[in-house]
Chain A
Amino acid sequence: MGEMEELRKEAESLKDQITAARKTVQDTTLQEAAAGITAVGRVQLKTRKTLRGHLAKIYAMHWGADSTLCVSASQDGKLIVWDSITTNKVNAIPLKSSWVMTCAYAPSGNLVACGGLDNMCSIYNLKGKDGNVKVMRELAAHTGYLSCCRFLSDTEIITSSGDCTCVLWDIETGTEKTIFAGHLGDCMSLAVSPDFKFFISGACDFTAKLWDIREAQCRQTFSGHESDINAIGFFPNGNAVITGSDDATCKLYDLRADQELNTYQDSSIMCGVTSLAPSVSGRLLLAGYDDFNVNIWDTLKSERVGVLAGHDNRVSCIGVSSDGMACCTGSWDSFLKIWN
Chain B
Amino acid sequence: MSNSSFASSSLVIAQKAVKQLRLEASVRRIKVSQAAAELKTFCLQNAHKDPLLTGVPSSDNPFRPPKSCVLL
Contact = CB atoms under 8 A, between A and B. Distances in A.
Interface of A: 1, 3-4, 7-8, 10-11, 14-15, 17-18, 21-22, 24-30, 32-34, 37, 40, 43, 45, 48-49, 68, 84-85, 182, 217-221, 235-237, 239-240, 254, 256-259, 261, 279-284, 286, 299-300, 320, 323-327, 338, 340
Contact of B32 (A21, A237, A254, A280): A254
Contacts of A286: 52
A237 B18 CA distance: 31
Interface string B14-30: 11011011111101011
Interface residues of B, number: 41
Interface of B: 7, 10-11, 14-15, 17-18, 20-25, 27, 29-40, 42-44, 46-47, 49-53, 56, 61-64
B47 A283 contact: yes
5 contacts: A256-B30, A281-B43, A283-B46, A283-B47, A325-B63
A26 B36 CA distance: 11
Contacts of A3: 11
A176 B21 CA distance: 26
B33 to A, nearest CB: 5
Interface of B is mostly: helix
A239 B43 CA distance: 12
A310 to B, nearest CB: 15
Contact of B40 (A37, A217, A338): A37
Contact of B63 (A34, A49, A236): A49
B63 A18 contact: no
Contact of B42 (A29, A34, A236): A236
Interface pairs A-B: 7 shortest CB-CB = A33-B36, A281-B46, A48-B63, A281-B50, A14-B21, A257-B35, A7-B14
